[in-house]
Structures are given as structure tokens and as C-alpha cells.
Amino acid sequence: MSSTYSTEKPPLSQPQIHSLIENIKDYQLTHGSLLKNVHTREESAVLARGIPVSLFPIQFPKAAFNRAIRLQTLFNELYVRIASSDDFLSKILAPLIRDDAFTRCLWDIYSAAKEEGIVQEVSLGVFRSDYMIEVSHDDDGPWQLKQVEFNTCTVAGGVHANLVADMHRFLHKTGAYGEFFGEALEEMRDVPVNGTIEGLVGGLTSAHHIYGEQMDNCDRRTGILFIVQHNNYNICDERPLEYGLWNQFPPIPVYRLHFRDILDHVSLGPSRELLFSSPSCPFSPLEISVVYLRAGYEPDEYDDRGRAARLLLEKSRTIKCPSLLSHLTTFKKVQQELAMPGVLEKFLPPEQCADLRATFAPIYPMDQSELGVHARDLAVNPKTSVDYILKPSLEGGGNNIYGSDISYFLETIPEDQWSRFILMKTIKSPTRDGVLMSFDGVYDGPTISELGVFGVCLWRQKAENDSVEILKNRDVGWSFKTKPEEMEEMSVVKGYGFFSSPSLVKEA
């Protein structure tokens, strides 16, 4: 079917688009595809708005999608091995630990926990590898899958992506897209089923059960603790995971705790069990099997209490998602280091390294090494910087400087601070026509999409010999975000991107 498409988007009339928008709004309301308005004054009231979405699935090459899915367990393993190697991390992060307060803060917490002895060998990782596709230089070569970034900490968007894919599949069935994606009433073939919610719940469930197997005292009630931000407008991306855990049989208790309130509700038991007490938890104190962080990734969360709280979690017996070392692997500096010759090979066999490396875009340090000096030359010259993005070394997304802005930006900061950035080549993605709706209106024009593949990994790091045993390693779904071509950032909750789904097409 796919190869017979004559246009890149469904040929919808204005009345059809109007009807589609009405159907989407109501679907969002009835399925929790919403952003919560957290500034409502009334405590007893909740207001919400629909999340920005694409009206229909956007074309994406099938081979690239399948490749990204296939690579996920390999990337999971790579990042697990990095997170299990504090030698490697301490070496590559050394300049940041020295110059950057946040990196130093996290590293110090890790070091303090390590000093007291790590009592939990098992860690859970919820990862997301983000990609765009790139057309090769001659502009008519095959599409190439290129990695934008790899996220290991407080990875979001899985629930929204799942719901939007479900919505597009439903709308197709009702004939809202005519016959563009195949026959109405039939299941949609071009958009893959997205089971991210189930996959993430499955990962947390596995970790919970592993913890149970380790327990000496089986009488004690255990449950999972979600560490969340207060005033969180993105609860629709978190709550369905909790409901999924409660709906296991037997149910897995899950409670939420604000990062800033950890010290008020959490303490350590005699064997460093993490114990949670709250008026809302009738099992208090509940022994926490897994602590799942959807907070604790912003520097300003780490005041004295924040540091003490993260240390308490880290040195406890609970399974962390993520552990501090795993959290640190989300920094761009790690991604840049992995792109250096010979580095991947420290962690994986050569043929697998080649497979992963093919997805890397050129990425450079901005330090005083030979490669760093080359990158600085590229960055300070507006003629060359136009093809690059300057990213803070330590972040998992956001605060990037794009193209010709880079040279002006670098003029504003002292040269000895430049090493806090990395320079990455812009991925030149082909555009696809799309129609995107949000509170700000409807955009109808060329768009660019980003595929994120979710991975779940559960591993045991044996302290005595530093070996890693991988207990579970899965790809568990995907997210697909689309933005207007001119937009630089992709974040949906910040108002740039739109959740969407990929309509998989064969290459022309």
C-alpha cells in the first residue's frame, strides 16, 4: 500500500479537518491526553487542556524505524555498561566535576553513597534513544537513522506517545483520513501499535519482583515510590503507569512523593531498607522496592535537603531508577565521548560498535584537545557553525544554541568555560507535510519528526568483581514528535513540538 501513496498527507477538505479537530479534542478529554493546569486557585478544582498533537500520522521510513527498534537493546546494554563503570565515568566527567556545580553535586552524592557501601546490586533503567532521519549528501541517497541523544533519567513522553498513536489508529478506523492510510474500519497497518505504557509498567513490575526475591523478611509489605515534581502539569504522562502497577494481580502499591518532601516521609531501616510513611499510605511504613524518579534532574532541586534526600535514596537498599551513575550517563558529554574513536569498543564487541556508530552524527568536545580545537574553529565561524548545534555538556535536552547564533553566544562567555559544551552537527532531516494543533492554533506546513525508542533494562552489578549481569533488556515502545520545520526545539510540554505517530513508508 505504502508505495502507492501519491501525496505525503491525507487530502482532507476543510470540513474534514474541522470534524477531525472536534474528534481529537473530545478524544483527548476522554483519554487523558492533557496537560494539567496547576495554577488553578481552587484546591478542589482541576483544569486541563489538550496536549499539542498532529492531526494525523506523519511519514517515516519503515527501515529506519525498524532499525531503531532493533538497536534499542544494544544501546540499553551499552549504557548499562557505562553506568557500571565509575572509572570511565569519573575520567570523562572529570572536567565537569571540577567546573560544574551540578555534576559535582551528583558525583559527590554518589561518592558518599559508595563510601558507605552499595547494598543494592540491581538497578533499573528506563531509557529513550532519540533519532531523526537524514538524507545523505547527494540528496537522493537512502535515509539514514541518526541519533539525537540518549536519555537515561526521568524519561518522559511514553504515555502521551502511546495515547496519541492509539488515537490516530482509532481515527483511521472511523474513516477520518478517508482511505489514505488504508481501508477505514480496518486496523491501521502503517502505524505500528505502541505499547509503551504496558512496557514501562512491565519494567517496574520486574524490578519490584526482583526486590521481593531478595527480601529476608517476606512479611513486610513492599511497594514502588514515584518521586515527582510538585506542581506537575504533566501528570497525564505519569499517572497511567501508577494505575498499571495497581492493576497488576496482586496489585503493586505505588505512592507519589514530591522530591522536596523526601526527607519528611522516607527513612532507612536496620538493613538500609527504604521505608516510606504517609497519611495516604495505610501500610506505613512501606518498604520501597523500587524508587522511580520523575524529578531530581534540575540543579535547583539540589539544595541541602535535596542533596540529603538523593543520598538517602542512593545508599538505601531500594532499586533505583535511575541510579546516580546511570543518571550521569544522560549527560551530553557521555554521548560525545562515545563518538570518539575506540571508545565504544571498550564496552561492546566490534561488529555491534559499528552498528551503533553508524547512527552517530559528528559530535565534538569543545575542550583544548586536538578535536576540541577543531570544533572551536567550526563554532566561532558563522559560515561553518550554521551546520552545528552547541549543547551544554551536562543536559539531557534543552538550552541548546543553534547554527549562526553559536559564534555570538560564545563571545558572551569566557573561553575557559567553552569546555562545558559539546558541538554536534545538525541532522538535516527531510520535511513532510503535516497539520499540527495546539492551544496556539493550527499549523499547516512542512514538518520535521523525531523518533524516540523506549528501552527498559534491569541489571545486577556484582561489587566483588565489577561484572554486570543483565536480567532484562527490552525495547518497550516509542514516542514520535513532530514540529514545524522552522522550530528548533522539540519539547512538547514546553510548547515547541507535537505528539504524533509515524506512518511507516518504504523508501522511494
β-sheet bridge partners, residue 364: 423
Residue from the set 20, 153, 490, 504 that interacts with its own copies by CB under 8 A: 20
Strands in 309-359 per DSSP E: 319-321
414 within 8 A of 455, measured Cβ to Cβ:
no
Complex with its own copies: residue 408 or 439, whichever CB lies closer: 439
For residues 244 and 192, what is the distance between their CA atoms, to the nearest angstrom? 21
251 binds its own copies (CB under 8 A): yes
Which residues make Cβ contacts (< 8 Å) with residue 209, sequence separation at least 6? none
* Residue list 160-179, contact with its own copies (CB under 8 A): 170, 173-176, 178-179
For the bound state, the minimum distance from the C-beta of residue 167 to its own copies, rounded and expressed in Å, comes to 11
Number of residues engaging its own copies in binding (CB under 8 A): 59
CA atoms within 13 A on the CB side of 168: 28
Q: Give the contact letters, 383-422, x = binds to its own copies (CB under 8 A), - = no.
A: ----------------------------------------
* Residue list 88-107, contact with its own copies (CB under 8 A): none
> Rounded to an integer, what is the distance from CA 1 to the centroid of its chain?
32
Interface region with its own copies, contact rule CB under 8 A, candidates 108-116, 201-209, 251-259, 497-505: 251-259
Residue from the set 91, 243, 373, 399 that interacts with its own copies by CB under 8 A: 243
For the bound state, the minimum distance from the C-beta of residue 416 to its own copies, rounded and expressed in Å, comes to 46
C-alpha cell at 448: 520535521
For the bound state, the minimum distance from the C-beta of residue 277 to its own copies, rounded and expressed in Å, comes to 12
For the bound state, the minimum distance from the C-beta of residue 442 to its own copies, rounded and expressed in Å, comes to 5
4 binds its own copies (CB under 8 A): no
For the bound state, the minimum distance from the C-beta of residue 250 to its own copies, rounded and expressed in Å, comes to 7
CB atoms within 10 A of CB 422: 26
For residues 286 and 274, what is the distance between their CA atoms, to the nearest angstrom? 8
Gyration radius of the chain over CA positions: 23
Complex with its own copies: residue 2 or 438, whichever CB lies closer: 438
Interface region with its own copies, contact rule CB under 8 A, candidates 29-37, 77-85, 359-367, 403-411: 29-37
Interface region with its own copies, contact rule CB under 8 A, candidates 81-89, 244-252, 300-308, 318-326: 244-252
Report which residue type is found at 360: F
Complex with its own copies: residue 12 or 353, whichever CB lies closer: 12
339 within 8 A of 124, measured Cβ to Cβ:
no
218 binds its own copies (CB under 8 A): no
Interface region with its own copies, contact rule CB under 8 A, candidates 23-31, 425-433, 444-452, 453-461: 23-31
Interface region with its own copies, contact rule CB under 8 A, candidates 1-9, 236-244, 324-332, 496-504: 236-244
* Residue list 412-471, contact with its own copies (CB under 8 A): 437-442
Q: Give the contact letters, 31-50, x = binds to its own copies (CB under 8 A), - = no.
A: xx-x-x-----xxxxxxxxx
For 218, list phi and psi in degrees, rounded to 5. -80, -5
Residue from the set 10, 28, 58, 388 that interacts with its own copies by CB under 8 A: 28
β-sheet bridge partners, residue 275: 267, 287
Using a 10 angstrom Cβ sphere, with 0-12 exposed, 13-18 middle and 19 or more buried, the burial of residue 41 is exposed
Query: Residue ranges of the alpha helices (H) in 61-176?
Result: 62-83, 86-99, 101-116, 158-173
**Angle between helix 350-357 and 62-83 (nearest 10):** 120
**CA distances in angstroms from 439 to 37, 39, 290, 496, listed in the order given:** 13, 17, 37, 11
- Between strands 122-135 and 143-151, the pairing is antiparallel
Complex with its own copies: residue 14 or 412, whichever CB lies closer: 14
For the bound state, the minimum distance from the C-beta of residue 16 to its own copies, rounded and expressed in Å, comes to 5
Query: Residue ranges of the alpha helices (H) in 339-391?
Result: 350-357, 370-380, 382-385
DSSP structural state of residue 331: S
For the bound state, the minimum distance from the C-beta of residue 55 to its own copies, rounded and expressed in Å, comes to 10
Using a 10 angstrom Cβ sphere, with 0-12 exposed, 13-18 middle and 19 or more buried, the burial of residue 220 is middle
236 binds its own copies (CB under 8 A): yes
* Residue list 272-311, contact with its own copies (CB under 8 A): 278-283
**Angle between helix 158-173 and 239-246 (nearest 10):** 90
C-alpha cell at 180: 489514505
Q: Give the contact letters, 50-79, x = binds to its own copies (CB under 8 A), - = no.
A: x-----------------------------
For the bound state, the minimum distance from the C-beta of residue 27 to its own copies, rounded and expressed in Å, comes to 7
Complex with its own copies: residue 174 or 467, whichever CB lies closer: 174
The contact set with its own copies (CB under 8 A) reads 13, 15-16, 18-21, 23, 25-32, 34, 36, 42-50, 170, 173-176, 178-179, 184-185, 235-236, 239-240, 243, 246, 250-251, 253-255, 278-283, 437-442
